[in-house]
Structure 1
Amino acid sequence: MSLTLHLPDSEATVALGRALASILSRMDTPPALLLQGDLGSGKTTLVRGFVESLPGAESAEVSSPSFNICNLYPTTPGVAHFDLYRLEGMEPDDALFDAFEDPDTITIVEWIQYLPKEMWPEDALFLEWTPSDTGRSLVLHAMGGAAQSVLDALRPNENRF
């Protein structure tokens, strides 16, 4: 299943990040968020809205982890924010796969296209930014039951983004 959204500006992208955080932070086993989009498409903006809405965010400085590959944010629940841009053609270390398996951490991965699909977690929400003349277009694809429940929770509010 999928859901297509048009995000007219960065405020809408931040609002979607907040909505996702609200849903995922209440789940026993939240799906990973796998983000794919060009530079400047809104991936890190979405993560910023996500992290800043969680308890403990006042101690978190959200930025793209392009140079250090992973940022761990001291929120509740914890967030592991990976950026695979610099790993094109290389396999990430075990920290990514450990984060996928950790039920106490929400894992968000930017530039997921650099990880072969057979290495993606079974339950994940794949967010695919696509070109748009105005704002940002985003297709959210549910992969697994938990991810589908996230889409089901978002669908009634899809017009508020």
Structure 2
Amino acid sequence: MSLKLHLPDSDATVALGQRLASLLSGMDTPPALLLQGDLGSGKTTLVRGFVESLPGAEAAEVSSPSFNICNLYPTTPGVAHFDLYRLEGMSPDDALFDSFEDPATITIVEWIQFLPTEIWPAEALFLEWTPSDTGRSLVLRAMGKAARDVVDALRP
């Protein structure tokens, strides 16, 4: 199941992040968010909207974790934000896989294309950004029941 969206600007990207946070934070076992897109496509902007809308966000400084691979945000629920850009061709450490299995943490992974699909979590929402003449195009693909519920809730 998939859904195609057009995000005309960064405000729309932030708003989608806020909406996703609202939907996922109320779930017992939220799907992971797996993000794929070019540099500057809006991945970290979406994460910023997501994290900043959760309780505890005032203590979080959202940035791309390109250099330290993972940022943990002190929100409720907790958010683990991974960036695999620097790991191309290498395997991440166990923290990523532990995060996938922790129902108390929402896991967000940028540059998911650097992780072989056979080790992606079974319950996930795959977001793929593509260039557009105006703004950005985004395709959301649901993997698992919880992710399908999220895509259904996002439909106009």
Taking structure 2 as the reference length, what is the TM-score of the superposition? 0.99
Partner Cα distance (2:130, 2:147) in 1: 20
User: Structure 2: which amino acid aligns with 1:133?
Assistant: D
Q: Which amino acid aligns with 2:42?
A: G
Verify: 1:92 aligned to 2:99, yes or no.
Answer: no
Q: For 1:133 and 1:91, locate their aligned partners in 2 and report how far apart those are by CA, in whole Å.
A: 35
2:63 aligned residue? 63
Match in the other structure for 1:75: 75
Query: Which stretches of structure 1, 4 residues or more, deviate above 3 A after TM superposition?
Result: none
Report deviation, 1:131: 1.1
* Counterpart residue identity of residue 102, structure 1: D
Structure 1 residues 7-86: aligned runs within 5 Å = 7-86=7-86
Deviation at 1:74, TM superposition (A): 0.0
Structure 1: distance between partners of 2:129 and 2:59: 29
What amino acid does structure 1 have at the position aligned with 2:87? L
CA distance in 2, matches of 1:28, 1:151: 17
CA distance in 1, matches of 2:59, 2:152: 31
1:69 shift after superposition: 0.1
TM-score for the superposition, normalised by structure 1: 0.96
Q: Report the 3-state secondary structure (helix = DSSP H, G, I; strand = E; otherwise coil) of the residue aligned with 1:29.
A: coil
- Give yes or no for the alignment of 1:151 onto 2:151: yes
The residue type equivalent to 1:11 in the other structure is D
> In the aligned structure 2, how far is the partner of 1:5 from the partner of 1:154?
10
1:30 deviates by 0.2
Which amino acid in 2 is paired with 1:95?
A: A
- Rounded Cα–Cα distance in structure 1 between residues aligned with 2:131 and 2:73: 30
Gaps of 5+ in 1: 157-161
Distance 1:28 1:124 in 2: 14
Please state if 1:138 is matched with 2:138. yes
- 1:159 alignment partner in structure 2: none
SS in 2 for 1:128: strand
Calculate the aligned-residue CA RMSD, in Å.
0.4
User: In structure 1, how many angstroms separate the alpha carbons of the residues matched to 2:119 and 2:66?
Assistant: 20
**Whole-angstrom distance in 2 between the partners of 1:134 and 1:152:** 25
Matched positions, count? 156
